[in-house]
Structure 1
């Protein structure tokens, strides 16, 4: 019964923001192990389009983040902290894990791509600095119900084959892959490790939008892993000093202005320019339950992310 209530709550929350969003749903297959031959794992990923901006996020992450956002709102209503224990609420047990713990936003006309992740309760992001260079072929086929054309690109250490349709005049697609004269309806890499198939298009009124923390850290693609490691070290240092994760003042960057991306979808502008969308609320690392959950999520990511989508 608790499981059904959580699922209902999560699906309800997914429609609790403002405006109307076109959601393209992809059946996504992932090979979790680059060494051993194992069965592909499946989950759904979403490409949410609103105005000229998009959000790529997995269904499971969207559900989890929407639940977390609700509990943060409840906290502001003076609900006791002990009632905020996520394990007691059954979330860790019932919310399915995902291969996509991050999310990606795009400014479609400007072809600007932003990658958002979280470490020890702190958000961190960067702007992608490598444009996808497509080779559009003359090969045409019907893919997933759409008349499509084939294109190939080398990106992130993988050779990607995309099938795009001009019937949907949106220059976007799953993950960071975009820039074609139509929506990507099928995408797979040359190793057979990642595959995205468009299965449905729906209209979502008041779609949930990813909140961005006011202390989000701006990084770069090249420095991203190093900055994440530095955040972890700073967190450990503060824990030892008894500051419980506060006092990360020594870390510059971040700031509350982001845009060109999806989460929040209203106003604002990215540090790099663009129309952008402001981001409301957010989750910080000061809630013990949140810290515990984030630690467990990091451990889960380490276990499943043996075959990252980007090899270089």
Structure 2
């Protein structure tokens, strides 16, 4: 594990003054495709806990410096907002030109073991749980008084430093911490997606949106072709329905290839 960049005594000293406690996790996702390591942000303030891709911060900083509106989409589909000290999550999902939010209560039952280990100057304790159809192991630090962790994981008597499922498909490691003097504003990219307000849906409604697109991802192109319009994909001109069908199959294959849900019990039921 990389060296964790924060000083424990400083963390306690600034706790009453700092508005946002920020923890950076390195996320490694192992799948059939090459997914690069991603830095994720856990922000804890007086009212809310937020979890999102670090790239949002980089683009937000560029926008403020230059006056241009730099935008990005999540690479992990792990955008979470919840009130502090609760299991009630809002999970945000960007989808083409739409933005959705799904509310859920995700209480976890942890089994805390006596196993401990040292990481630098910190003593971590082991805990396990089953969540989202995966078995998880967490190493938390009882001396860091935040009952929080990456994604939806929380409820342990200390901050989660390391987290992984039993197949090591998802691995989170705490790599950095800092304290911000003001509550960090995420409203431009989390609570809304660059001006697009989220549509509240349930899981069934979200499935329908995703499956409708999967079954016909080229519907607009098809209508354009029927009306005599020009379609160019990757520099190639599409002139027939057969070519468009090939493109449809290509898109469908890629949707399934790059879909790797963290919660298996809520996975979108794409056809085999």
**Distance in 1 between the 2:148 and 2:126 partners?**
15
Call closer, same or farther: CA 1:182–1:218 in 2, change over 3 Å: same
The 5 Å alignment of 1:61-210 reads 61-64=56-59, 99-143=75-119, 145-206=121-182, 207-210=184-187
Call closer, same or farther: CA 1:306–1:117 in 2, change over 3 Å: closer
**Distance in 2 between the 1:101 and 1:162 partners?**
21
Call closer, same or farther: CA 1:186–1:304 in 2, change over 3 Å: farther
| Contact residue 51 and residue 78 of structure 2 kept, 8 A | no
| Contact residue 172 and residue 179 of structure 1 kept, 8 A | yes
Q: Which structure has more RCO (C-alpha within 8 Å, separation ≥ 6)?
A: 1
Tell me the TM-score normalized by structure 1: 0.57
Partner of 1:51: 46
| Contact residue 92 and residue 198 of structure 2 kept, 8 A | no
The SS at the match of 2:264 is coil
Unmatched 5+ stretches in structure 2: 1-17, 225-250, 266-272
| Contact residue 98 and residue 196 of structure 2 kept, 8 A | no
Cα deviation for residue 134 of structure 1 reads 1.2
Superposition CA RMSD, Å: 3.8
Which structure has more strand as a fraction of its residues? 2
Cα deviation for residue 125 of structure 1 reads 0.6
**Distance in 1 between the 2:99 and 2:62 partners?**
17
Tell me the TM-score normalized by structure 2: 0.64
Cα deviation for residue 32 of structure 1 reads 3.2
| Contact residue 140 and residue 148 of structure 1 kept, 8 A | yes
Unmatched 5+ stretches in structure 1: 1-18, 76-85, 242-297
Partner of 2:21: 22
Deviates more, 1:215-224 or 1:116-125: 215-224
| Contact residue 136 and residue 164 of structure 2 kept, 8 A | yes
- Whichever of the two has the greater Rg, that structure is 2
Call closer, same or farther: CA 1:164–1:222 in 2, change over 3 Å: farther
The answer to whether the aligner puts 1:226 opposite 2:203 as a matched pair is no
Cα deviation for residue 27 of structure 1 reads 1.8
**Distance in 2 between the 1:57 and 1:144 partners?**
26
